[in-house]
Structure 1
Amino acid sequence: MSTSPHIVEVSRDQFPSLVLQESHNRPVLVDFWADWCQPCQMLIPILSKLAEEYAGGFLLAKVNTDQEQELAMEYGVRSLPTVMLFRDGEVADQFMGVQPESAVRELLERHLPGPESDALRAGREALEQGDAHTAVEQFEAARRARPEKEEIKIEQARALLQLGRADEAEALVKSLPMDLHQREDVKRIESELHFARAAGDPQEWPALEARLEQDPDDPEALHRLGAVRLLQGDPAGGLELLMRLMKKHRRYGDDAGHKGLLAAFELLGAHHPLVNEYRRKMMALLF
């Protein structure tokens, strides 16, 4: 076991905090290895040397795959060693097999803080404090500093959505490279955009509420208010309205209820307690 503060051994229970959460602060390099793996033993000194050299610029997290087989399977590890670099809770880069020190160093340099880091940090802090205006400005500054770093657009799009500037957020998301569209956070933003378009003008929402009270099966009210509920943090209310829309009006909006439920599942994430319940209900209607 290493005594270095820059190297940690990680279990499945520790992975969310030591890897996913920490990767929002700095890159985390995760080494999936095993005692019996000779190439792993050849790579370990290289990774350890770099962890000490960078002195906290990144965290080296070691996962013993013999002890953490489920974690290795979850991340699709098929050969050893496999090394993944996490940024902002996602796998940002990876390699398999023994690599020369120069190649590992090149990978790290692509992800270590650059001239945009101060603006990014300020934007994230502003967003956490509810100041989306400042966040948008800081993310824009970060993009000017590193225009080739496409990931910054994701954070700026999230801030724009909080301001209700869905068209600008959508333009940023559409300009992302195709590989970034596979990221879970991008899929969630795309789902939010889906519901922002469906919800429409907030000034019309009170009238829609009145219509729904008069007619609980009004398709437009079900659709738009289902989107409103989800955007306002009421997933149970939103899912229930979309489920009713799917039950009563399959032809409305080209099966808008079904499409809305699928978008809601993306927005909430697979582990949300309501997702499995409503996925079962949706499948029962389909079959």
Structure 2
Amino acid sequence: MAESPHVVNVTEADFEQVVIAGSSQRPVLVDFWADWCAPCRQLMPILAKLADELGGAFLLAKVDTEAEQSLAAAFGIRSLPTVQLFKDGRPVDQFMGALPEGQIREFLSRHIESATDQRIAAATEHMTRGELDAAASLLAEVRAEAPDDNRLFPAEVRLALARGDYDAAADMLEHTPLELANDPAVAQLRGQLAFAAAAAEAPDPAACEARLAADPKDSAARYGLAAQQVLAGDYQAALDNLLTLMRHDRGYGDDAARKGIVMIFDLLGDDPLVTTYRAKLSRLLY
């Protein structure tokens, strides 16, 4: 096997430095093996290939259990091969046996950020700073390299929303990849699009509030204000306005208030507001 900077042999003497301390800098995948173990010999080249392919996203540390029996005993190794993943100085996951490459990739993906993931994250960070051209350039590079990688899809929709290109975002969501149809991130994007489009059509918040002061049953003003509150991150105020709209005008916009509340729940995920307002919604409905 060709030497690689991402694959090392470790012993009891350097395990602390290479694996325990080293896993604070990047994940370390420890392969407990033995020369007599045929599955170990099948597995090792796959692990080395992935270490090189991911360009140092993790370090592969090989432990010969025949020579390092005390290490094997310390980590409870009872069958070979056993592969443990260390992060921040401790083992966080493991698998046993010579798994197929696809299953090993899935195992690694739970813990190790790929170059593609890093660039998507960087593009998202550019969006939060309003650097939309930089975000678009990064996403275009990744799409050119991996045209079928659906991890790009949510970021591309977010970019369209950030640009105010709601028609493009709507078209993309209309053609959501099948495997992402039930993805919570896509549900959030649908909500963001609906609120962004509604906010764009509404007067500014001060004007909406003035209209509501004159007529508390102005449904369009209340929904427009709620949409703008969502975009500003004032979810509680938006939920209160949508509940009020439900009480006064349930039919407005084809049940837009109830649908809007559900979309905010999607946006908030596990936020405690969801539990509180789900109960309020249930009381109003039933």
TM-score under structure 1 length normalisation:
0.62
Matches within 5 A, 1:2-81: 4=19, 50=47, 54=51, 56-58=56-58
2:51–2:59 CA contact under 8 A, matched in 1: no
Q: Deviations over 1:171-199 (max 9, x none)?
A: 22333312212222221111111212322
2:127–2:162 CA contact under 8 A, matched in 1: no
Matches within 5 A, 1:121-140: 122-140=122-140
- The equivalent residue for 1:286 is 285
Secondary structure at the aligned position of 2:254 is classed as: coil
Q: Which runs of 5+ in 2 are unaligned?
A: 1-14, 30-38, 61-94
Aligned amino acid, residue 219 of structure 1: S
- The equivalent residue for 1:195 is 195
Stretches (4+) displaced over 3 A: 5-8, 26-29, 96-114, 116-122, 202-207
- The equivalent residue for 1:277 is 276
2:202–2:221 CA contact under 8 A, matched in 1: no
Shift of residue 218, structure 1, vs aligned partner: 1.2
Give the whole-Å Cα distance in 2 for the aligned partners of 1:28 and 1:268.
Answer: 34
1:119–1:141 CA contact under 8 A, matched in 2: no
Q: Deviations over 1:204-249 (max 9, x none)?
A: 6554332112112211111121111101111111111101011111
Give the whole-Å Cα distance in 1 for the aligned partners of 2:219 and 2:156.
Answer: 33
Give the whole-Å Cα distance in 1 for the aligned partners of 2:117 and 2:240.
Answer: 42
Give the whole-Å Cα distance in 2 for the aligned partners of 1:246 and 1:98.
Answer: 57
TM-score under structure 2 length normalisation:
0.63
Aligned amino acid, residue 51 of structure 2: Y
Give the whole-Å Cα distance in 1 for the aligned partners of 2:27 and 2:198.
Answer: 37
- The equivalent residue for 1:13 is none
Aligned length in residues: 222
1:212–1:222 CA contact under 8 A, matched in 2: yes
Give the whole-Å Cα distance in 2 for the aligned partners of 1:127 and 1:279.
Answer: 31
CA 50–244 in structure 1, closer or farther in 2 if over 3 Å, else same:
same
Give the whole-Å Cα distance in 2 for the aligned partners of 1:163 and 1:240.
Answer: 29
2:243–2:281 CA contact under 8 A, matched in 1: yes
CA 284–171 in structure 1, closer or farther in 2 if over 3 Å, else same:
same
Structure (1 or 2) with the larger CA radius of gyration? 2
Secondary structure at the aligned position of 1:182 is classed as: coil
CA RMSD in angstroms comes to 4.1
Give the whole-Å Cα distance in 1 for the aligned partners of 2:154 and 2:21.
Answer: 29
Q: Deviations over 1:73-126 (max 9, x none)?
A: xxxxxxxxxxxxxxxxxxxxxxx9966344445658999846x67854652342
1:120–1:138 CA contact under 8 A, matched in 2: yes
CA 233–101 in structure 1, closer or farther in 2 if over 3 Å, else same:
same
CA 286–7 in structure 1, closer or farther in 2 if over 3 Å, else same:
farther
Give the whole-Å Cα distance in 2 for the aligned partners of 1:27 and 1:191.
Answer: 36
- Say yes or no: does 1:226 pair with 2:226: yes
- The equivalent residue for 2:78 is none
CA 248–227 in structure 1, closer or farther in 2 if over 3 Å, else same:
same
CA 282–98 in structure 1, closer or farther in 2 if over 3 Å, else same:
farther
Shift of residue 140, structure 1, vs aligned partner: 2.4
CA 127–51 in structure 1, closer or farther in 2 if over 3 Å, else same:
farther
Secondary structure at the aligned position of 2:176 is classed as: coil
- The equivalent residue for 1:259 is 259
Give the whole-Å Cα distance in 1 for the aligned partners of 2:173 and 2:203.
Answer: 26
CA 242–28 in structure 1, closer or farther in 2 if over 3 Å, else same:
farther
Percent of aligned pairs sharing the same letter = 30
